[in-house]
Structure 1
Amino acid sequence: MRVERNQSDQALKADEIKPEKRIEKDWLPSPPFSRRYAAIDLGTNNCRLLIAVPQKDGFRVVDAFSRIVRLGEGVSQTGMLSDAAMDRTIEALTICREKIESRRVTAIRCIATQACRGAGNGGAFLERIKKETNLDFELITTEQEAALAVRGCMDLTDPKADAALVFDIGGGSTEISWVVKKSGDDITNAVFKLEAWTSIPIGVVTASERFGGAHLTREEYENTVDTIALEVTRFTGADHLKPLFESGRGHLLGTSGTVTSLAGVHLGLKKYIRKEVDGIWLASERALSISEKLRAMGFDARQKEPCIGPERADLVVPGCAILEGILKAWPASRIRVADRGLREGILAELIASDRHRKRRRRRSRGRSADDQARGNQPAKE
């Protein structure tokens, strides 16, 4: 079932997103006694942890962990999480828990997405995680997932653009969001609004299982592209923004392993380096040419690509087909690459919530002090 929302949804319409200061790339020890925040994103393919400390205009990462666990492997065919996949995930989450304890994290949010949403035993598995690791996971909706992904990478939107299409190619689904500039003309004051979003129930794992991943022929690849393009074009809630993209005033912003892998290959990196990839611009034509190169080179050759490796060799081509399907439905000349997303969005919300509570407490104490001062004044005659 395809889930859709558009600008009439109040939860998303109310969001105004102002770019924050770029996250510092160097992971350093956090100051003593500072608040520490952790975010865990448990997806269909990956388990990811990020730990950070707040700074004036954002936050600084102090630790991170990522492992491909393929939790959703086979779910599209059986409807259930397999024992092997759940065991792999528990092992990864145990490492996350150890890092959280060693960093003395003071606030945490753990989210689970499509694999647990779609599996018949997804809820039971989250209960098992709680019992074995003491990590309490929240099963978020596709709406929440899209909003968090947008918040996590919004500071990479070109402030000179009028709109952007933000896509997050996950393991089990792909979230697509459209943002438009509300005000401002440069990086210091540009404000963007989340205008519309949709979710399609196809990600790199489900596409690989449905269409084939390791050995896609050109015909199979093109059929996959057409299927994705059709899914994207069925959503009409953002059609009023198409003139902005047709006139070159809109661009794509991708947050996923697919787009970061393409960027790594484009740069010719001997090993994946986040700070080299995060934030670069990739011409759409270049992305498509690399996609075809990866498809044509075959599974064995893809395994030897430093920014792909054995764990992504069967998933990167379905991911490329999803990207090409998006571009076919929403043509744009350039793509901004984001090695950030859900986890960064979670951290931003945790920190903002904390700051809001602190402001409320200060205002409350100020009112109490004023009331007390007025109560101690002598009565007027």
Structure 2
Amino acid sequence: MRIAVIDMGTNTFHLILVEVANDDFRIVFREKVAVKIGEKGINHGMITDDAIDRALKTLGHFKEIIEKEKADQVFATATSAIRNARNGNDLVQKIKDQTGIETRIISGLQEAEYIYYGVKRALPIGKMPALIMDIGGGSIEFIIGTDSEILWKQSFEIGGQRMVEKFQKSDPITNEQIASLKGYLEENLEELFEACTTFHPKTLIGSSGTFDTLSDIYRLTNGIEKAEEETEYPLTLEAFELIYSDLLIKTRAQRLEIPGMIPLRVDMIVVACVLIDFIISQLSLENIRVSAYALKEGVLLSTLHSLKKESAS
């Protein structure tokens, strides 16, 4: 059986196609497109006409691939930008009318749970609580968990696109803007800090997105080869701090020249790194890991589990 999973994120739309056999899957195709559906509207609770056009064009392209690859089933989810937009449901209807793709808008807590399952599949979390972090364009998900369970989870609607539009008014970002952003994070992430006081995570696991790019920069700087099938990517706290310090003083054009940087990440990566640095510092974290899997893989795993239950009943 062949299954397609579409993740409609605030910044990026992802498509993965997998071949399913014997309770396992093999990814046969993946593509990501910088749709930037939250651009210029996310802090006003609206998806702009231009963003809607980009979304429909990308999903039309995805539909062509899905049909060509003869997928048996399609599962599409939408996250922060669409779930919070006043015209989000209208867009979901347009997607169905124009492409036939049925879209499920998921809550922030559902998103956090799917991310946990994706990360758990990618790497051994361990018996001690770890803090999992996924930085989206619209929301940030935090999960504290072990190999065996989720201990705490929350979604905060303060993602990268929102932070860029609220705080990064110049390029390079100024010290004043960084201070304002950190004050905002301190005020809005109280619930996270309370949970960490209870569970004491010492390791940060970043999933996908910004963390992928940070790992790519680290690898290319240090001549570390990337294995095709690896699902945990290399990164150290020391390397992160060096990359972060460098990003703070560079313009967009200069950031694009960094080996490993991609246009998809170049606009959000500075505020995302301010956030990562803030979390590491506030929680005195001792280790950082990077998961190649995130929401879309979690959705896939949950879907496979449901299909297995249906076939068994």
Length-normalised TM-score, structure 1 = 0.76
Tell whether 2:89 aligns with 1:123.
yes
Whole-angstrom CA distance in 1 between matches of 2:241 and 2:285? 12
Whole-angstrom CA distance in 2 between matches of 1:91 and 1:273? 32
In the alignment, residue 316 of structure 1 is paired with which amino acid? I
For 2:65, which of 99, 106, 111 is the aligned residue? Answer: 99
CA deviation digits over 1:196-227, x for unaligned, max 9?
Answer: 01122111111100001643113322432343
In the alignment, residue 210 of structure 2 is paired with which amino acid? T
Corresponding residue of 2:39: 73
For 2:206, which of 240, 254, 267 is the aligned residue? Answer: 254
Corresponding residue of 1:342: 295
Corresponding residue of 2:10: 44
Q: Aligned in 2, Cα 1:277/1:207: closer, same or farther, shift over 3 Å?
A: farther
- Structure 1 residue 333 displacement after superposition: 1.7
CA contact (8 A) 1:79 1:120 kept: yes
Aligned counterparts, 1:175-254, within 5 A: 175-180=141-146, 191-212=147-168, 214-235=171-192, 236-242=194-200, 245=201, 250-254=202-206
* Higher alpha-carbon deviation: 128-137 or 157-166: 157-166
CA contact (8 A) 2:138 2:159 kept: yes
Corresponding residue of 2:50: 84
Whole-angstrom CA distance in 1 between matches of 2:33 and 2:227? 15
For 2:256, which of 282, 287, 303 is the aligned residue? Answer: 303
Corresponding residue of 2:103: 137
Runs of at least 5 residues in structure 2 that lack an aligned partner in the other structure: none
CA contact (8 A) 2:137 2:162 kept: yes
Detail structure 1 runs of 4+ shifted over 4 Å in the superposition: none
Larger radius of gyration: 1
Whole-angstrom CA distance in 1 between matches of 2:251 and 2:38? 24
Whole-angstrom CA distance in 2 between matches of 1:312 and 1:258? 7
CA contact (8 A) 2:9 2:136 kept: yes
- Structure 1 residue 303 displacement after superposition: 1.7
CA contact (8 A) 2:56 2:95 kept: yes
* Higher alpha-carbon deviation: 292-301 or 131-140: 292-301
In the alignment, residue 192 of structure 1 is paired with which amino acid? S
CA contact (8 A) 1:227 1:325 kept: no
In the alignment, residue 266 of structure 1 is paired with which amino acid? Y
CA contact (8 A) 1:281 1:334 kept: no
Please tell me the root mean square deviation across aligned C-alpha atoms, in Å: 2.2
Q: Aligned in 2, Cα 1:332/1:238: closer, same or farther, shift over 3 Å?
A: closer
CA contact (8 A) 1:228 1:326 kept: no
Whole-angstrom CA distance in 1 between matches of 2:287 and 2:22? 31
Q: Percent identity?
A: 27
- Structure 1 residue 237 displacement after superposition: 3.6
- Structure 1 residue 56 displacement after superposition: 3.9
Q: Aligned in 2, Cα 1:274/1:341: closer, same or farther, shift over 3 Å?
A: farther
Q: Aligned in 2, Cα 1:145/1:160: closer, same or farther, shift over 3 Å?
A: closer
CA contact (8 A) 1:263 1:277 kept: no
CA deviation digits over 1:141-173, x for unaligned, max 9?
Answer: 001100011111113444545111111100011
Whole-angstrom CA distance in 1 between matches of 2:129 and 2:43? 37
SS of the residue corresponding to residue 351 of structure 1 reads helix
CA contact (8 A) 1:72 1:81 kept: yes
Corresponding residue of 2:274: 321
CA contact (8 A) 1:259 1:337 kept: yes
Q: Aligned in 2, Cα 1:158/1:352: closer, same or farther, shift over 3 Å?
A: closer
CA contact (8 A) 2:213 2:262 kept: no
- Structure 1 residue 311 displacement after superposition: 3.7
Runs of at least 5 residues in structure 1 that lack an aligned partner in the other structure: 1-34, 181-190, 361-381
Q: Would you say how many aligned residue pairs link Structure 1 and Structure 2?
A: 309
Q: Aligned in 2, Cα 1:102/1:73: closer, same or farther, shift over 3 Å?
A: same
For 2:284, which of 327, 331, 335 is the aligned residue? Answer: 331
Length-normalised TM-score, structure 2 = 0.91
In the alignment, residue 246 of structure 2 is paired with which amino acid? K
Whole-angstrom CA distance in 2 between matches of 1:76 and 1:215? 22
CA contact (8 A) 1:53 1:62 kept: yes
SS of the residue corresponding to residue 142 of structure 2 reads strand
Corresponding residue of 2:310: 357
